Chain A
Amino acid sequence: MKGGVTQSMAWAHTWLGLVAGWMLFTVLLSGALAVAKPEIDAWTRPEQAASLAPQSVAVQRAQHYLAQEASNATWWFITPGPPGAPLTVGWAGAAGVGEASLDPATGEALAIRDSDGGEFFADLHATLHLPVWGLWLVAASGLFMLIAVVSGTVIHKRIFRDFFTFRPGASAQRAWLDGHNVAGVLALPFHLMIAYTGLVSFFWAYMPAGIEVAYGGDQVAYFQESTLRVERPEDTRPATLASLPAMARLTERSFGPEAIGLINVKNPGRADAVVTVYRATHDRVQLHGERITFDGATGRIIEPALPAGPVNVAYRTLAGLHFAQFGGGFVRSLYVALGLAGGIVVATGAVLFTIKRGDRQRPGTRAANAYQIIERLNVGMIAGPLVATGAFFWLNRLIPLETTERHHLEIQGYFLVWAGTLVHGLMRPARRGWIEQLGLLSLLSLALPLLNLATTGDWIVSYLERGDEARTAVELGFIIAGALAAGVTWRLAASTPTRPSASGRASRRGHAS
């Protein structure tokens, strides 16, 4: 019976892996890139050079700018950022929504190229760049990831021995399986955590059972009650907004200096204006910091910083673990590495599926043809998004700055290149497809610092000299990605292209079939 359970776990692992693997790979890759959003934002907007200014000055500049540009809006958002970061302001109202990056010292709008930057990867990660039902697909891949981790662990009775076993020189299947197991076991707790916390963070979209029974399905009521505690009676008479910097200074007593994460203002020009100041979350795991709420017209505190209840703390801690806003660059780099380890587990798993099962089919049969198509789709679904990511960064430097709707072109370029890799992958024998696409990825990545030097006059060396950690980290990422892709390409090209013989196949038995 025990062997039976292992076998059926292996069955579930294999087939759910096939169903979800390709989608999961893109979710993991874009998630790893989304974690590096601050760094990618800085690289994709090379003009962004913010000067140092204390947050109270930044808030004053923001209020001045918004009062001129968006006095009729119903919402203002101000993100002062830590010293040295740009000041971002946004607004929403009947006339539409808008956003601007300002120099915190002068309040002037920074002339920044129109690029979605890291936000594109965050969007790809959350919804696959689809409408809101994309959340369902991503949630399904998160669920499959949890099931794959649980079933994969059951299959591995020798989990610790496997961890120390990596035989890249052994047969192709052995090397892929060892790679699958090492990356899977190494990052196992992280993968359980990241899939679970991701599912919990957006539960209202695809698991609204609680909202259905407790709120009669009224999502807005749930969000109001769980986030916006302060509700004021409507008063549409015009009123001047009190000084935001003065309110910001009042929050320092609870939050400490330079610790504002976000300020939002509801109905800025009206007598019922409400200003909410949120504490920054860079030094704590919980997402959404404590907040202090002010009467916007008088500048008096309506509600001080209240301690959250234990359930809400637990919930926000899970969300915070997923969004990784704490711990700075060190924690973010760990998240990127462990997320990419997840990508490696999925990619090696997809290759293993075709090596182990495809080779068992007699050539010419319908099953053999199906496995050949899967084998070739693997190329475009795994190397494809990697090549497209490289192309996205190239387009960021190549599309002329004055182009209208420039950020759309970057994104369209990403999907066009991905579509191209799918077509190319289907037309070439799988091994040639891998070699050509990974080779292209390596060229694209390694040349990115040079392209940057040619187009902006800056590259990793000048960033290093200036102590620009964020942009140095991105260029280092390009070089590492390019070197790894070159290494795999070279190994694939050097290995013998022949299929394993029938006798060799019989003597090999993996345990993850």
Chain B
Amino acid sequence: MVTSSHRGGAIAARLLLAILGGYVVAYAATAAFTLVLPLQRHDAVQAGAMFAFPVEVAATLWLLVDPRFTRPVIVLAALTLCCVVVILSGAR
């Protein structure tokens, strides 16, 4: 963990990766969630909006705090890939 090291570059890189990664995960998950919800499309969009931000917080925080950085990266990348498959196959 970076706790003891004060190298600015490492801190900035980890923050940037977590923020961008969290956004990508949340974006893909929201798109997939909106598609699979059995609702009218404007309701599905609003339900997706409520769903998006807890996902983004969880993903960003996990990318920030896990001592083994590769673990959240692999799990979240796999999750994002599943969402992309849903998006590509699920034309509304």
Residues in chain A within 8 A of chain B (CB atoms): 4-5, 7-12, 15-16, 19, 140, 143, 146-147, 150-151, 196, 199-200, 203-204, 207, 209-215, 222, 225-226, 309, 311-312, 314-315, 318, 367
Contact = CB atoms under 8 A, between A and B. Distances in A.
Given A143-B60, A146-B53, A209-B52, A9 B43 contact: no
B46 A315 contact: yes
A314 B40 CA distance: 15
B48 A367 contact: no
Contacts of A147: 57, 60-61, 64
Contact of A150 (B1, B31, B33, B61): B61
A209 B3 contact: no
B54 to A, nearest CB: 8
Given A4-B1, A15-B15, A207-B27, A315 B50 contact: yes
A222 B45 contact: yes
A7 B50 contact: no
A9 B87 CA distance: 33
Contacts of A140: 19
Main secondary structure of the interface of B (DSSP, over half): helix
B61 A7 contact: no
Interface residues of B, number: 40
B50 A11 contact: no
Given A8-B1, A16-B15, A309-B43, A209 B34 contact: yes
Contacts of B54: 196
B77 interface: no
Contacts of B43: 309, 311-312
Given A211-B45, A214-B44, A367-B6, A311 B39 contact: yes
A222 B87 CA distance: 19
Given A15-B11, A226-B46, A207 B57 contact: no
A147 B62 CA distance: 10
A213 B67 contact: no
